[in-house]
Amino acid sequence: MEPSENQESHKVGIIICHRYHRCGGGKCFRALRNREGAFERYQNQPVEVAAYATCDGCPGGNIEYVPEEMAKNGVQTVHFATGMIVGYPPCPYIEYFQSYIENRFGLEVVMGTHPIPEKYRINHEKLGSWNHGNWPEIIEPVMADEQTRLAYN
pLDDT band for position 1 (cuts 50, 70, 90): very low
Dist. CA 35–CA 50, nearest whole Å: 17
Domain membership flag for residue 118: yes
Domain membership flag for residue 2: no
Domain membership flag for residue 1: no
- pLDDT (0 to 100) of residue 7: 81
pTM score of the predicted model: 0.94
User: Tens of pLDDT along 43-82?
Assistant: 999 999 999 999 999 999 999 999 999 999 999 999 999 9
SS (H, E, C) 54-96: ECCCCCCHHHHCHHHHHHHCCCCEEEECCHHHHCCCCCCCHHH
Dist. CA 2–CA 79, nearest whole Å: 23
Domain membership flag for residue 4: no
Dist. CA 83–CA 80, nearest whole Å: 8
Tell me how many domains the chain contains.
Answer: 1
Dist. CA 137–CA 140, nearest whole Å: 5
Phi-psi region of 11 (alpha: psi -120 to 50; beta: other; left: phi over 0): beta
User: Tens of pLDDT along 11-22?
Assistant: 999 999 999 999
Under 8 Å between Cβ of 78 and 12:
yes
Domain membership flag for residue 5: no
Range of the domain at 96: 10-151
Which one is predicted more confidently, 5 or 50? 50
Residue 118, CA distances (Å) to 69, 110, 142, 144 in order: 34, 21, 11, 10
Domain membership flag for residue 24: yes
CATH code, 41? 3.40.50
Domain membership flag for residue 3: no
Domain membership flag for residue 97: yes
